[in-house]
Chain A
Amino acid sequence: EDQVTQSPEALRLQEGESSSLNCSYTVSGLRGLFWYRQDPGKGPEFLFTLYSAGEEKEKERLKATLTKKESFLHITAPKPEDSATYLCAVQASSSASKIIFGSGTRLSIRP
């Protein structure tokens, strides 16, 4: 069964304190892995798509990496405005266009 697990559930950091969020996945053939940011009361906002192991993408203080079993979202020198819930999702090549989300990591950055 296709599955996505994110850890930790919640993470509190001091401003400037770098860290990583984890997304472990089990799929029968990966078509794509996606990272989204969600602010309270709003819809998720797309960040990155990764397609194959070894791929990396960056955007401002965020960097996403992908291996055959997991993806990491690295946050370098975060600011309070980076506080949000970060969601990981996968699309398996075997299940047409179904998309499976993890339950998210709630990130809080203290000034």
Chain B
Amino acid sequence: EAQVTQNPRYLITVTGKKLTVTCSQNMNHEYMSWYRQDPGLGLRQIYYSMNVEVTDKGDVPEGYKVSRKEKRNFPLILESPSPNQTSLYFCASSFGQGAETQYFGPGTRLLVL
């Protein structure tokens, strides 16, 4: 089954404790992206990647890191999480450069205390 998976689905952590949210897709997509969704603000793009070893900043990259060492994986790293990073995070992937259909993961709900 074609899908985007994220882990963990729910995470409670404390300020400053490094964490990684994994994202994996099994559709051989070139384009992968991370978004955060907050009430009233909609989906905002954090980082995107057009292929292996090619990443770029979206609209809200501060406080986040990403890497794309393999085509199928695109982890999101929070080196020192802060309470303002409490949010719902989505990973997405698509063929080409993102203009085509994006498939979204199920989301990761993060609470930073």
List residues of A whose CB falls within 8 A of some B CB: 31-32, 34, 36, 41-46, 49, 87, 89, 91, 96-104
Bitwise, B1-43 to A at CB < 8 A (1) or not (0) is: 0001000000000000000000000000001010100001111
Q: How far is the CA of A49 from the CA of B98 in the complex (A)?
A: 11
Q: A98-B45, A103-B41 are in contact. Are A41 and B107 (CB under 8 A)?
A: yes
- Please name all residues of chain B whose beta carbon is closer than 8 Å to the beta carbon of A31 when the two chains form the complex: 99
**Number of A-B residue pairs with CB-CB distance less than 8 Å in the complex they form:** 63
18 contacts between A and B (CB under 8 A): A32-B99, A36-B102, A41-B107, A42-B106, A43-B92, A43-B104, A87-B42, A91-B99, A97-B31, A97-B50, A97-B97, A98-B45, A98-B59, A99-B33, A99-B58, A100-B45, A100-B59, A102-B42
> Which A residue sits closest to B91, measured CB to CB?
A43
CB distance from A41 to the nearest CB of B (A): 7
Contact across chains for A49 and B106 when beta carbons are under 8 A apart: no
List residues of B whose CB falls within 8 A of some A CB: 4, 31, 33, 35, 40-45, 48, 50, 56, 58-59, 90, 92, 97-107
- Please name all residues of chain A whose beta carbon is closer than 8 Å to the beta carbon of B50 when the two chains form the complex: 96-97
Across the interface, A104 reaches (CB within 8 A) one of B31, B42, B106, namely B42
B35, B43, B98 — most chain A CB neighbours (10 Å) = B43
- Please name all residues of chain B whose beta carbon is closer than 8 Å to the beta carbon of A45 when the two chains form the complex: 104
Q: How far is the CA of A87 from the CA of B35 in the complex (A)?
A: 14
- Please name all residues of chain B whose beta carbon is closer than 8 Å to the beta carbon of A43 when the two chains form the complex: 4, 90, 92, 104-107
CB distance from A90 to the nearest CB of B (A): 10
- Please name all residues of chain B whose beta carbon is closer than 8 Å to the beta carbon of A49 when the two chains form the complex: 99-101
